[in-house]
């Protein structure tokens, strides 16, 4: 595990080094944070410290950027990120029931991660799939025409997949 983190860190360092070669290297901060999140799943403090020092950007400034964008996770996230669409079409078609069912099933609120680190729950505004509303997204996969029952079944499917893996 430690070795894996070391490998990821090395990859991030290489990425930063490449950015630092470019003109206006400061402007690559968001790209670097994207890369860090891609590698680690979230932005650990140690990683932010290292990014700040290597890019010669004050840590406070970096923190301002990282907290401004919802995209960046400041806490570890689950293996599967569930985004529940609460856009108008989904809302009308019963998105709140779907959301409540997920909350009940996982025992978490929006923004939280389950104790087994399997699921993180987010809300989303229109995923662009209104035709099959109400929809949710799990990682990068869309599931439509859901209801409270179907969504629980879906979660259980993911649980099974995780067990096998």
Partner 1 sequence: MDKKITIYINSKEYKVSPNQTIMQAADHLGFHIPRLCYHPKLSIEGACRVCIVEVEGMRNFVASCAYPVSDGMKIHTNTQELRRARRDIVELLVDNHPMDCHTCERDGNCELQRLASSMGIRARHFVGQRKQYGRDLSGQAVIRDPDKCILCGRCVRMCSEIQQVHNLTQAHRGFDTVVMPAYNMPMAESVCTACGQCINVCPTAAFLEKNYTQELFEKLNDPNLIKVAQFAPSVRAAIGEAFGLEAGHNMEGQLVAALRKLGFNYVFDTQFSADLTIMEEATEFLERIQNKGKLPMITSCSSAWMKCMEQFYPDLIENISTCKSPMSMQSALAKTFFAQKIGVDPKKIFSVAAMCCTAKKYEAARPELDVEGMRATDIVVTTREIAWMIKSAGIDFLNIEPETQDHPIGMSSGAGVIFGTTGGVMEASIRTAYELYTGQTLVDIEVESIRGLKGIKEGKVVMDGQEIRVAVAHGLGNACKLLDVVRKDPGRYHFVEIMGCPGGCVGGGGQPYAGVNSIPLDEDALMKRAEALYSIDRAKTIRRSYDNPDIQKLYKEYLQRPGSPIAHKLLHTHYKQKFPQGIIPKEALK
Binding site for partner 1 (CB under 8 A): 45, 48-50, 52-54, 58-64, 67-68
The pairing of beta strand 80-85 with beta strand 119-124: parallel
- Compute the least distance from the CB of residue 10 to partner 1, in Å: 12
Q: What is the dihedral of CA 75, 77, 81, 87, to 10 degrees?
A: -10
Beta carbon nearer to partner 1, 32 or 129: 32
Beta carbon nearer to partner 1, 67 or 96: 67
Span between the terminal Cα atoms of the chain, in Å = 17
- Compute the least distance from the CB of residue 37 to partner 1, in Å: 16
Task: Tokens 């689950």: give the residue.
Answer: 78
Beta carbon nearer to partner 1, 45 or 115: 45
- Strands (DSSP E) found in the chain: 80-85, 119-124, 136-138, 141-143
Beta carbon nearer to partner 1, 124 or 148: 124
Nearest alpha carbon to residue 124 among 112, 114, 111, 106: 111
- Compute the least distance from the CB of residue 25 to partner 1, in Å: 16
- Compute the least distance from the CB of residue 69 to partner 1, in Å: 8
């Amino acid at each position: 595990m430690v070795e894996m983190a070391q490998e990821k860190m090395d990859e991030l360092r290489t990425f930063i080094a490449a950015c630092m070669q470019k003109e206006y290297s400061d402007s690559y901060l968001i790209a670097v944070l994207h890369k860090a999140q891609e590698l680690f799943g979230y932005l650990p403090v140690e990683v932010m410290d290292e990014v700040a020092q290597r890019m010669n950007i004050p840590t406070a400034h970096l923190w301002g950027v990282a907290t401004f964008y919802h995209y960046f996770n400041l806490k570890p996230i689950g293996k599967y990120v569930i985004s529940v669409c609460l856009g108008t079409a989904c809302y009308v078609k019963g998105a709140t029931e779907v959301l409540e069912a997920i909350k009940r099933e996982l025992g978490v609120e929006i923004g939280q991660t389950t104790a087994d680190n399997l699921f993180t729950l987010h809300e989303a505004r229109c995923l662009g799939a209104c035709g099959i509303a109400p929809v949710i997204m799990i990682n990068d996969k869309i599931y439509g025409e859901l209801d409270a029952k179907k969504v629980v079944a879906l979660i259980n499917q993911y649980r099974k997949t995780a067990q096998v893996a």
